[in-house]
């Protein structure tokens, strides 16, 4: 079993493609020079390869388990790894220096996150959920709450969770029933059951800060009656140290297909009189706060897709070089060759590699836009960047995670029969990847967000801006003589335009027809946007090759990736556009016999 090796060379390329120099020059990132960032990435590569990757398999094999006292027992090595994680300051890389964070740009943090997720996806979920809780507290907590919680969570001394889902309320948070009753001292008593709570219980940290969606008495029905509460596992004492055990507990862990080392908890609040909680932000605005955080969370899950796909690719490529089987096609004699010589194995590996690189490039460009949206001195530029981010988030989440499943399955296939044997390790990536297109909103939810909030709501303005940029890239490719890639991207852009036009034309008149094609449109948009970034990468690589600037082999390989992607992935866009524009009748036909 090979350990994870962070793809530093392609990450650096993605950083350049996304404009690292401009991002690092934004106000507030003065300390994050490209040199500093590069050193941090080198160190992150070492940490993830040496500390997190080696416990990935044991985590899968052993899994987290609940003991008879209701404690979650983590697999061997996880406690030590978490200590090293917190002690080395990784937890606060992207956090505000005011709370002890390193204040790194999103663009750099995304690369670190990818490494952590690629090395050990189950482990990565604990800091990921903590980061979400930090963001929520920073957004809507009182000064007192921030003082009490933020520094400890940024350092990793305490972790955080998000308690949204209930058995009857999965994607539909309007159905939340957990209730919170105001007490005379201003605190609340919280009662209810939450499911699918990631790292809802563990002993890696000395406290767990649960953020819980609940209803106050008399609150309006639906999403407008839900508030956000802070419900810590141990109630902080006067010095801010963990004090009395709160009335909440982990009732059971889910037995899942993958991410076995991530405890997915059923949490019971208030079985013994009520869990003590405090309102976070204003009453009835809980869903609104969640939506603000959701972009970051969805982006991060998209990175998980990228990360697990990268690891599946590394594993499969190594096997394809090592395994000898059959002779070279078309050659007489000569004995067996490594299977990487076989055309179909190459095809599979190139499907994996080119899509991984496309996902990484699109994620990086989106991260850079997040930095511009937050920090750019020009308001119009901030707004433009924010609109781009909003449009890209459902793609980074939905397309990357669907693609991750394809890539991880190809990784199994490259291994042949050995891929089906768990000890090989390839199957774990497939099992782990399978959650990424479900949690933080299924692909269907992402697609509804894309067609509704992101395309229809602004009358297609943000989407058309991207189409115009894509067409500019097509023109640049033609000018540079990269005709095959230009043809692929041109066709994909035209297909995407047909899909977007259909959404805009029918959003008000035939909503159900638009929704019937929403996922195909998301996959079309994701493929096209990924191809656009690979094409920009091919132009950059060609430019550097001509200038004699950089690793020739790597740069030539980038051009091959873009070419492969154009012929094998962008060629799927026409069919997807047909599903969007002509596919609704049969989907909605009541005679279908479903």
Tell me how far apart the alpha carbons of residues 173 and 446 are, in angstroms, rounded to a whole number. 15
Q: What is the dihedral of CA 319, 325, 329, 334, to 10 degrees?
A: 120
Residue 488 beta carbon to its own copies: minimum distance, rounded to whole angstroms: 9
Q: Are 197 and 209 in contact (CB under 8 A)?
A: no
Nearest CB to its own copies, comparing residues 105 and 419:
419
Minimum distance from residue 345 beta carbon to its own copies (Å): 7
Nearer to its own copies, 69 or 255 (CB): 255
Rounded Cα distance between 350 and 356, Å, is: 10
**Smallest distance, Å, CB 331 to its own copies?**
10
Q: Return the number of the residue (243 or 444) whose C-beta is nearest its own copies.
A: 444
What residue ranges in 2-85 does DSSP mark as E strands? 65-66, 72-73
- Of 96 and 572, nearer to its own copies (C-beta) is 572
Distances (CA, A) of 423 to 37, 415, 418, 428, 435: 36, 12, 9, 9, 21
The Cα–Cα gap between 206 and 44 comes to 25
If 0-12 CB within 10 Å is exposed, 13-18 middle and 19+ buried, where does residue 478 land? middle
CB of 590 to its own copies, least distance (A): 9
Q: Are 442 and 296 in contact (CB under 8 A)?
A: no
Q: How far is the CB of 192 from its own copies (least distance, A)?
A: 18
In angstroms, the Cα distances linking 92 to 28, 56, 99, 292 are 16, 22, 9, 20
Q: To 5 degrees, how large is the angle CA 421–CA 423–CA 427?
A: 60
Nearer of residues 193 and 413 to its own copies, judged by Cβ: 413
CB contact at 8 A, 229 and 48: no
Q: Minimal distance in Å, beta carbon 387 to its own copies?
A: 25
Q: Which of 440, 461, 497, 590 is catalytic?
A: 440
Do residues 394 and 454 touch, judged by C-beta distance below 8 A? yes
| Sequence-separated (6 or more) residues with CB below 8 Å from residue 419 | 411, 412, 413, 426, 427
Q: How far is the CB of 193 from its own copies (least distance, A)?
A: 15
Distance CA 351, CA 556 (A): 17
Judged on CB neighbours under 10 Å (0-12, 13-18, 19+), 54 is: middle
Residue 140 contacts residue 289 (beta carbons within 8 Å): yes
Given the complex with its own copies, which of 97 and 222 has the nearer CB atom?
222
Burial class (CB within 10 angstroms; exposed 0-12, middle 13-18, buried 19+) of 212: buried
> Nearer to its own copies by C-beta: 83 or 512?
512
Q: How far is the CB of 579 from its own copies (least distance, A)?
A: 5
Q: Using the CB atoms, write b or e for 95-120: b if 16+ within 10 Å.
A: bbeebbbbbbbbbbbbbbbbbbbbbb
Whether 29 contacts 97, CB under 8 Å: no
Catalytic residue status for 440: yes
- Distance between CA atoms of residues 142 and 27, nearest Å: 26
Which residue, 478 or 568, has its beta carbon nearer to its own copies? 568
User: C-beta of 72: minimal distance to its own copies in Å?
Assistant: 17
Q: Is 536 exposed, middle or buried (0-12, 13-18, 19+ CB in 10 A)?
A: buried
Secondary structure (H, E, C), 152-172? HHHHCCEEEEEECCECCECCC
In the complex, minimum distance from the CB of residue 14 to its own copies, in angstroms, rounded to a whole number: 15
Phi/psi class of residue 236: alpha, beta or left (left: φ > 0; alpha: ψ in -120 to 50)?
beta
Does an H or E element contain 198, and which? Answer: strand 188-198
Q: Which is nearer to its own copies, 244 or 329 (CB)?
A: 329
Q: How far apart are the first and last CA of the chain?
A: 45
**Which CB atom, from 184 or from 334, has the smaller least distance to its own copies?**
334
| Pair 485, 563: CB distance under 8 Å | yes
Q: How far is the CB of 515 from its own copies (least distance, A)?
A: 4
Give CA–CA dist 8/259, Å, rounded. 25
The set of catalytic residues is 440
């Amino acid at each position: 079993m090979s350990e994870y090796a962070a793809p530093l060379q392609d990450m650096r390329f993605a950083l350049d493609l996304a404009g690292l120099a401009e991002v690092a020059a934004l106000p507030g990132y003065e300390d994050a020079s490209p040199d500093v960032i590069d050193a941090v990435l080198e160190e992150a590569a070492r940490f993830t390869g040496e500390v997190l990757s080696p416990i990935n398999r044991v985590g899968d094999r052993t899994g987290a388990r609940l003991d008879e006292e209701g404690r979650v027992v983590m697999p061997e090595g996880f406690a030590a790894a978490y200590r090293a994680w917190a002690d080395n300051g990784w937890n606060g890389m992207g956090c505000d220096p005011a709370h002890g964070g390193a204040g790194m740009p999103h663009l750099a943090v995304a690369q670190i996150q990818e490494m952590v997720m690629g090395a050990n996806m189950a482990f990565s979920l604990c800091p990921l959920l903590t980061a979400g809780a930090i963001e929520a507290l920073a957004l809507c907590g009182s000064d007192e709450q921030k003082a009490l919680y933020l520094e400890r969570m940024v350092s990793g001394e305490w972790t955080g969770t998000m308690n949204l889902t209930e058995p009857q309320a999965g994607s539909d948070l309007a159905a939340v029933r957990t209730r919170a009753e105001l007490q005379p001292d201003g605190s609340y008593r919280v009662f209810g059951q939450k499911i699918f709570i990631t790292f809802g219980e563990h002993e890696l940290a000395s406290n767990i800060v649960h953020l819980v969606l609940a209803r106050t008495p008399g609150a309006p029905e639906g999403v407008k009656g839900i508030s956000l509460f802070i419900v810590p596992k141990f109630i902080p004492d006067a010095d801010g140290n963990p004090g009395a055990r709160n009335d909440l507990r982990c009732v059971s862990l889910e037995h899942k297909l993958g991410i076995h080392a991530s405890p997915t908890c059923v949490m019971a609040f208030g079985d013994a009189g009520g869990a003590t909680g405090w309102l976070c932000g204003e009453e009835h605005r809980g869903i609104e706060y969640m939506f603000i955080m959701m972009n970051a969370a969805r982006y991060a899950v998209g990175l998980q897709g990228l990360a697990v796909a990268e690891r599946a690719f590394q594993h499969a490529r190594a096997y394809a070089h090592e395994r000898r089987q059959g002779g070279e096609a078309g050659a007489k004699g000569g004995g067996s060759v490594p299977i990487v010589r076989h055309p179909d194995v190459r095809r599979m590996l190139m499907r994996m590699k080119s899509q991984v690189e496309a996902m990484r490039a699109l994620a990086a460009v989106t991260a850079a836009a997040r930095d511009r949206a937050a920090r750019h001195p020009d308001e119009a530029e901030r707004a433009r960047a924010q609109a781009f981010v909003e449009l890209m988030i459902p793609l980074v989440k939905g397309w990357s995670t669907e693609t991750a499943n394809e890539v991880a399955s190809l990784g199994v296939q490259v291994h042949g029969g050995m891929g089906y044997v768990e000890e090989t390790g390839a199957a774990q990536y497939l099992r782990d990847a399978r959650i990424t297109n479900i949690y933080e909103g299924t692909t269907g939810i992402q697609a509804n967000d894309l067609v509704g909030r992101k395309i229809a709501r602004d009358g297609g303005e943000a989407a058309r801006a991207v189409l115009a940029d894509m067409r500019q890239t097509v023109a640049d490719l033609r000018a540079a003589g990269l005709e095959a890639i230009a043809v692929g991207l041109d066709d994909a852009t035209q297909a995407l335009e047909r899909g977007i036009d259909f959404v805009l034309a029918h959003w008000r008149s035939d909503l159900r027809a638009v929704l019937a094609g929403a996922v195909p449109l998301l996959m079309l948009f994701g493929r096209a946007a990924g191809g656009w970034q690979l094409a920009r990468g091919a132009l950059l690589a060609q430019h550097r090759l001509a200038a004699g600037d950089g690793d020739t082999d790597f740069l030539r390989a980038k051009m091959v990736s873009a070419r492969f992607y154009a012929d094998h992935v962008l060629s799927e866009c026409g069919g997807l556009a047909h599903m969007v524009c002509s596919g609704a009748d049969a989907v909605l036909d009541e005679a279908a016999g479903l």
